[in-house]
Amino acid sequence: MQGKIIKGIAGFYDVAAGNTIYRCRAKGIFRNQKVKPLVGDWVEIEILDEKDREGNLTGILPRTNELIRPAVANVDQAIVVFAAKNPKPNYNLLDRFLMTMEKQGIPVIVCFNKKDLVKEKELAQLESIYEQCGHQVIFISAREGNGIDEIRDLIRGKTTVLAGPSGVGKSSLMNQLNPDANMEVGAVSRKIQRGRHTTRHSELIMIEEGTFVLDTPGFSSLFIDRFEEDEVKDYFQEFAPYAEQCRFQGCSHTHEPDCGVKKALEEGRISRIRYENYVNIYQELKEKRKW
């Protein structure tokens, strides 16, 4: 029988097969192989006890991909959640997340929660910025249950990493998607202080058969240390058409004269937020390399 590992705890793996979750032990063969079972793996299991839902892991199917942080395999897509307001979106963190996922070939849907707190006009601005750089953008209100069906449609039959900083309403969203999950929802300030999530392990929540969501702990620890500064611009794809007009080949769009990207910025064709994040990330990587 085949299933998917949704959780690993102290030598056991919880495997969802159909609508049932079996607690499985990895058989000896895994110790001799170099591959260690990962959350998200599609696996072959043998049932030992149907009533007690116990089994053995007997094989791992080939992976389509493997993320290191969070440690999870076979990710189809990510949904990154920010609040449209309260807390104000950290666009720099958002752009870093988009780069990190894009580098690993994982499509990202940008989701702004708490749409009940801001005006349509502000939402339209957010939408145009992130659609311009190639992402699907959705607006929801987890509190009012708005946009939840749209999310359900987007995640159906897939494995989705749900990421976002503390306080944006991820737990509220998970509760809407899966009332059984019963995640703790609380005041923004209190939870940031307590810093819960820091020691939690990756766990997939089965929303329905074949649909899995990973609620990702520790979003702010996402760093972009595996990038060269010169490749950063490749992740700001909306710059590309204007870069053709730069005077210098390999223009970094920061200090060079006759830069097509800076011209487009002045003309309002490129988002200032995105441009400033680009410069910030570019310079940070350049500084790092000096040491």
Using CB distances below 5 to 8 A depending on partner kind, what does residue 150 bind out of ligand GTP, Zn ion, none? none
Q: List the one residue from 9, 29, 61, 117 that touches ligand GTP (CB under 6 A).
A: 117
141 binds ligand GTP (CB under 6 A): yes
Longest dimension (CA), the chain: 72
Q: What whole-number distance in Å separates Cα of residue 82 and Cα of residue 273?
A: 15
Stretch that binds ligand GTP, among 70-78, 183-191, 206-214, 245-253 (CB under 6 A): 183-191
Using CB distances below 5 to 8 A depending on partner kind, what does residue 166 bind out of ligand GTP, Zn ion, none? ligand GTP
Closest CA to 71 of 37, 43, 20, 110: 37
Closest CA to 262 of 286, 224, 236, 287: 236
Q: Are 95 and 274 in contact (CB under 8 A)?
A: yes
What x/- string results for residues 247 through 286 when contact with Zn ion is judged by CB under 5 A? ----x-x-----x-x-------------------------
Stretch that binds ligand GTP, among 43-51, 61-69, 99-107, 182-190 (CB under 6 A): 182-190
163 binds ligand GTP (CB under 6 A): no
176 binds ligand GTP (CB under 6 A): no
User: Between residues 5 and 204, which has the closer beta carbon with respect to ligand GTP?
Assistant: 204
Q: Are 162 and 67 in contact (CB under 8 A)?
A: no
Bind-site residues for Zn(2+): 246, 251, 253, 259
How many chain residues touch ligand GTP (CB under 6 A)? 19
Bind-site residues for GTP: 113-116, 164-172
Bind-site residues: 113-116, 164-172, 246, 251, 253, 259
115 binds Zn ion (CB under 5 A): no
Which residues make Cβ contacts (< 8 Å) with residue 245, sequence separation at least 6?
Answer: 260, 263
Residues that bind ligand GTP (CB under 6 A): 113-114, 116-117, 141-143, 166-172, 185-188, 191
